[in-house]
Amino acid sequence: MLLQMKGVEKRFGGVTALRQGDLEIRAGEVHLVMGENGAGKSTMMKIIAGMQKRDGGAMIWQGQTVDFENPKQAAQMGIAMVHQESLLAPHLSVAENIFLGREIPGPLGTVNRRKMLAEAARLIAQYGFRLQADWMVGRLSPAGKQLVEICRAIQNGTSLLIFDEPTSSLSEAETHEVFRIVRELRERGTGVIYITHRMEELRSVGDRVTILRDGATVHTEALATLTRDRMIQYMVGRAVNSIYSREPLPPGEPLLTVTGVSTPSLLRHVSLTLRAGEIVGLGGLMGAGRTELCRAIFGLDPVSSGSVEVAGRPLALRNPREAVAAGVALIPEDRQRTGLARDLPIGWNVTLANLDAVSPGGVIRHPEEERVTREAIDRLRIRCENGRQRAGRLSGGNQQKVVISKWVNRGARVFLFDEPTRGIDVGAKVEVFAVMDELARQGAAILMVSSELPELLQVADRILVMSQGHLVGELPRGCSQEDIMRLATAPPESGDLLQ
Amino acid sequence: MIKRLLPFLALLTLFVTLSIASPSFLTSQNLSSVVRQTAVFNTLALGMTLIIISGGIDLSVGSIVALGGLGGTMAMAKGVPIPLGVLLGIATGLLCGLLNGILITQLRIIPFIVTLGMMGVLRGFALIISDGMPVHDVPKGFQFLGEGTVFGFPFVLVVLIACAALVHFILEHTRLGRYVFAIGSNAEAAVYAGIPVNFHTVAIYALCGGLAGLAGLIEASRLSTGQPTAGQGYELQAIAAVVIGGGSLRGGEGTVIGTLVGGFIMGLLANGSDLLGINPYVQQALIGAMIIVFVAVDEFRKRRVPS
């Protein structure tokens, strides 16, 4: 037995991220860790890799209890992690990144650049990566960065390697490349933990699977005997078909018309129409241009050609202000960074996009603002102490409701939801869907970007699919995940790692 | 709650300690002189509060003090009536601040760099227009601004309270103030919410510049000369007052009351050291150390109580 985690706990402030984390890893096995967003997978991995300290429970590494103060200690014991989000220094070369923090010393405290380049080149060649040791990391595509992360992790006598969703940004060919590496590691007796949302692709490499839900380990089983349906049941904690289902409405008049929109960077002649009362899904792989489309419509990115009309009136597409004034709302993918003012009270967030309504003549009417805030809290069922509480203290789902309430309060009619359920727990997801459904019933048109195919299938009235900046197709309600994936992977990738 | 309390308690402790330690502290003459001495950078600190809450910084206010004072006194020396001269001084500062704001938003350079550059540009400009010479030819009545008394209180205290009330009202009760918090807390979210971020940024730099112009006039009035070298290093004192009073250089946090308390803490430290005969070299070190202590305690508190 390589690693045992027993009843591991981790709290952040008042939020419990992990309350009963159990995991056993054997040498030479590929162990999948699955669970919904917020189930505690990443937290548990960070504890194993020494990036966070546990608040309770036991961690036994090769027979003895260990407490890692930092990732370096974990690395010395032979534990390394390939991160989901790139933790690389963009201004340094591939070789310098691989050896970051453990540079090969030269004479007099200098760094032996030549040897590092040679070592890195040897490592790259050994695994057959399409990388060069002297390339600048900042110029690599996400996939290229991922390979550098992998090089970093496997370079010295690693006995346990953790992959945190390594293939989410990779193409088909690159994914197989990662699998090849995983197999090779397993044959050498290395333990591999693999976090993924896409179980099917790992049937071929995985040995066992452990499933987490709401911060606790709920099940461990050999992958060969665990069916997909049972797995999902463990993940969500109830029967699959009861998660969410929506009764679509007959669509009304067109509210958003996008005609031939292209951007200098990615989008190519994208056209679509959203009608009042519709929830339209937008699927595709990472980097297909879904977020970019939302940003272009909202006036955040420059558009090289094409036009956007809201309820028949053209948008100038110069800045978000015009989009907001026309009744467009963007619920951004990255809630923490772009959606929410975390340090400000809930109420201030609610009124932020429509402050004029409670501040005639520029002076804020506080009682009026409080009334609007209370209404928003009631209407979206935001769970909080009161409207003066800091928005950042709420749970992910409630933070998302605050972001949505900002636009409801503005009276927006076209909603662009970019990954609306990212990082929020299962219960809150259903509530967010209910809010979207309610908005649609009140005549809003909704575009919902999601990488989680089951969500698209359950919530959307029809599904548009993008690939490499093109809108490649439309699927009706009742299509399958495979239909979406087939469209999403349609045009062959160029395979260039350099952007 | 404790956050707002801490600077208050420090000020109170300082006040009581000095009252006991020095018989000459609790006299109207001494307290008036504290108010007069701190008036200039307290006025600067009010404008700086807005800027710092918005997540910015203005290093050029010390130079604006010189230029505002010169603008006013040079006009008065040419026979312009005192109230008009004062308005001209304030307008000079306002224009400088406007320029700061426009450069920051249009060139998209961070405020630190823009105002660092402007600190030099405006100082140079003050020296050029005055040929490096102070303006002595100031009407007698102008001294009332810095040295006058109404109902036994220094007139500058009235001016300071009026400015503080104005800035407090802006911050807590107007759309502009709300946007200042929003921009400082999360500028990107503010853009996403459709807020005209550039317009409001320019507005607060202009406001801060106007207050710095007024501070320059107070300084000129107290010295009864317009000095092209006035206000050097004042920007740092203003920043210190805001920070001691609970403002965060990361933006999104700060209050007018806190800033004033911070300003008076620094004023009392200087005054108390004088009264107790502490060597001015030690004084400098002491005040510097206080800044670090206050912010350290504040950070410690934030880390203990999860946001």
B3 CB-near residues (< 8 Å, 6+ apart)? B246, B298, B301
Among candidates A150, A416, A136, A438, which has minimal Cα distance to A296?
A416
State the average pLDDT over residues A224-243: 71
Picking from A338, A348, A388 by the largest number of B CB atoms within 10 A of its own CB, the best residue to mutate is A338
Give yes or no: residues A233 and A85 share one domain. Answer: yes
Q: Look-up: residue for tokens 């370079």?
A: A155
Give yes or no: residues A271 and A207 share one domain. Answer: no
Domain boundaries, chain B: 2-14+27-304
B74 CB-near residues (< 8 Å, 6+ apart)? B129, B130, B135, B226
Range of the domain at A262: 254-488
B4 CB-near residues (< 8 Å, 6+ apart)? B246, B255, B257, B258
Rounded to two decimals, what is the model's pTM? 0.78
The answer to whether the beta carbons of residues B74 and B131 sit under 8 Å apart is: no
Q: Which two tokens stand for residue B112?
A: 């630190």
> Quick check: is A495 in a domain?
no
Q: Do B193 and A12 make contact, defined as CB atoms within 8 angstroms?
A: no
Q: Do A321 and B194 make contact, defined as CB atoms within 8 angstroms?
A: yes
Residues of chain A whose beta carbon is less than 8 angstroms from a beta carbon of chain B are 12-14, 298, 300, 319-321, 323-325, 330, 332, 337-344, 348, 352-353, 355-356, 359, 362-364, 366, 390, 392-393, 406
What is the count of structural domains for chain A?
A: 2
State the average pLDDT over residues B188-216: 96
Give yes or no: residues A53 and A194 share one domain. Answer: yes
Q: Which two tokens stand for residue B138?
A: 């100031």
B185 to chain A: closest CA residue: A341
Interface of B with A in 156-215 (CB under 8 A): 173-176, 178-179, 181-182, 185-186, 188-196
Q: What is the pLDDT of residue A172?
A: 67
Q: How far is the alpha carbon of A52 from chain B, nearest alpha carbon, in Å?
A: 16
SS3 of residue A254 by DSSP: strand
Above 80 in pLDDT, residue A113?
A: yes
Identify the band that residue A75 occupies on the pLDDT scale cut at 50, 70 and 90.
Answer: confident
- The answer to which of A191-200, A319-328, A361-370 has the lowest mean pLDDT is A191-200
Above 70 in pLDDT, residue A167?
A: no
DSSP code of residue B153: E
Q: Do B174 and A325 make contact, defined as CB atoms within 8 angstroms?
A: no
Give yes or no: residues A356 and A466 share one domain. Answer: yes
Among candidates B153, B168, B164, B162, which has minimal Cα distance to B36?
B153
Q: Do A359 and B178 make contact, defined as CB atoms within 8 angstroms?
A: yes
A11 to chain B: closest CA residue: B306
B307 to chain A: closest CA residue: A393
SS3 of residue B175 by DSSP: helix
Identify the band that residue A86 occupies on the pLDDT scale cut at 50, 70 and 90.
Answer: low
State the average pLDDT over residues A352-367: 94
Above 60 in pLDDT, residue A496?
A: no
d(CA A89, CA A138): 8
Q: How many residues does chain A have?
A: 499
The last residue of a domain, from among A193, A212, A242: A242
pLDDT, tens digit, 9 for 90 and up, residues B175-187? 999 999 999 999 9
> Quick check: is A497 in a domain?
no
Q: What is the pLDDT of residue B307?
A: 39
Picking from A318, A321, A338, A352 by the largest number of B CB atoms within 10 A of its own CB, the best residue to mutate is A352
pLDDT, tens digit, 9 for 90 and up, residues B110-119? 999 999 999 9
Higher pLDDT, A461 or A13: A461
Q: Do B175 and A364 make contact, defined as CB atoms within 8 angstroms?
A: yes
Identify the band that residue B1 occupies on the pLDDT scale cut at 50, 70 and 90.
Answer: very low
Mean pLDDT, chain A, integer: 86
Let me know if domain B2-14+27-304 sits in CATH 1.10.10. Answer: no
| Interface ipTM | 0.85
pLDDT, tens digit, 9 for 90 and up, residues A318-329? 899 999 999 999
Give yes or no: residues A234 and A290 share one domain. Answer: no
The last residue of a domain, from among A216, A242, A268: A242
The last residue of a domain, from among A242, A267, A289: A242
Identify the band that residue A99 occupies on the pLDDT scale cut at 50, 70 and 90.
Answer: confident
Q: Do B175 and A363 make contact, defined as CB atoms within 8 angstroms?
A: yes
CB atoms within 10 A of CB A110: 9
